[in-house]
A and B are shown apart, each in its own frame.
Chain A
Amino acid sequence: MSKFGLVTKGLVKDNPTFVLLLGMCPTLATTTSAMNGLSMGLATLFVLVLSNMAISALAPAVPDKVHIPVYIVVIATFVTVLQFLMQAFVPDIYATLGLFIPLIVVNCIVLGRAEAFANKNSVFDSALDGLGVGLGFTCSLTVLGAVREILGSLSVFGWKIPGTGDGMLAFVMAPGAFLCLGYLMVLFNKFLAKK
């Protein structure tokens, strides 16, 4: 696959949210607004790129029997680094996303890419793969967040649509997450997944 293909495949063809159905918990929990979705996506992207690179470099030295625990420790290390960085520079976003930042450790996308790609490809290719999958995840989360924000509070990225009242609160709360993701998946299947 071309280098360019590695970066773009996560957007539609191998989209982690709509096609592979990975990382559902943060997808549903943090997309109360477009901004939150974008932040969560970028946080995952950060861990994904770094852990992919580290695991690709470490893979030849790791005995097969203990590779899963080793990968988990590597991922947990980068998540801890991310927690420090976010606490220092964007404490507001860190507080909003809360529990779901440490939970990136158990996001199946990250371990999935380590197992399926990073441990048998070069460091550079693994970085591109992490970037591609991370971008796909970020896009899905931002779209889902934007849809919920528009329906739920009639605003986009915190900008209130003028001349409108209150939105449908249910879309910002739990049921809206499931409903919006469900219907977005239907649209995705209908128009994009056809090959």
Chain B
Amino acid sequence: MEILLIIISAIFVNNIVLAQFLGICPYLGVSNKLSTASGMAAAVAFVITLATLVTYLLNQYLLVPNQLEFLQTIAFILVIAALVQMVEIVLKKISPVLYQALGIFLPLITTNCAVLGVAITVTKEVTFGGVTKMLGLGEALIYAFATSLGYGLAMILFAGLREHLALNDVPKAFKGIPIALITVGILAMAFMGFAGIA
């Protein structure tokens, strides 16, 4: 039951883009086409889950016992950067097809604040469904994966909207990013309705 609450809360109620404002740059950047949007969403899901696993263990077993929590920011960003590089090398070797599909998105993910954001969030207390508590490793991984599903959902919904938006004739000053932001605003308003679940 609690697991279900974490999942629903992470995907809908506290959607990472529409409620927490993380990972906006790639969200606006690659959501022009449905195909690139789903590629990016898959790459992000993969990296967020993996990065959370590594940083959670690093925090729990290296930083906290040695009272080095203040090094969290530096340690996490380095681990994430190294991890993304490694994933790139490994994927190239063992699964060229997947590498072809995710390839161009991987280097961009290092600077996606969603990855660092989730990694830092799970080391602190998380609120879901009216409960606030520290997450165990399993719960943290589920939270991370569900969050990235929420990212994918928001990304794919928005890419679909934008493909239609491109066909419309909008005033010159609204062209491009402004109209996209207004569209996300309305999408976020729709997502606010999910707050009732929690």
- Mark A residues whose CB is within 8 Å of B: 21-22, 24-25, 28-29, 68-69, 72-73, 76-77, 79-80, 83-84, 99, 102-103, 105-108, 111, 170, 173-179, 181-183, 185-187, 189-190
Contacts and interface: CB of A to CB of B under 8 A. Distances in A.
A105 B177 contact: no
B174 A186 contact: yes
Interface of B: 18-25, 28, 70-74, 77-78, 81, 110-113, 116-117, 120-121, 172-174, 177-182, 184-186, 188-189, 191-192
A84 B72 CA distance: 12
Nearest to A31: B21
A24 B25 contact: yes
B181 A181 contact: yes
Contact of B182 (A83, A111, A182, A190): A182
Contacts, number: 112
A17 to B, nearest CB: 11
A175 B173 contact: no
Contact residues of B: prevailing secondary structure: helix
Contacts of A174: 18-19, 21, 188, 191-192
A97 B185 CA distance: 21
A9 B164 CA distance: 36
A102 B75 CA distance: 12
Nearest to B115: A106
15 contacts: A25-B113, A28-B21, A29-B20, A68-B81, A72-B77, A83-B73, A99-B120, A102-B116, A103-B120, A105-B116, A170-B189, A182-B177, A182-B181, A186-B173, A186-B178
Counting chain A CB atoms within 10 Å of each CB, which of B21, B22, B174 scores highest?
A: B21
Nearest to A75: B77
Contact of A103 (B117, B181, B184, B189): B117
- What 3 A-B pairs come out closest when comparing CB atoms? A178-B185, A182-B181, A29-B21
Contacts of A178: 181-182, 184-185, 188
B28 A80 contact: no
A67 to B, nearest CB: 13
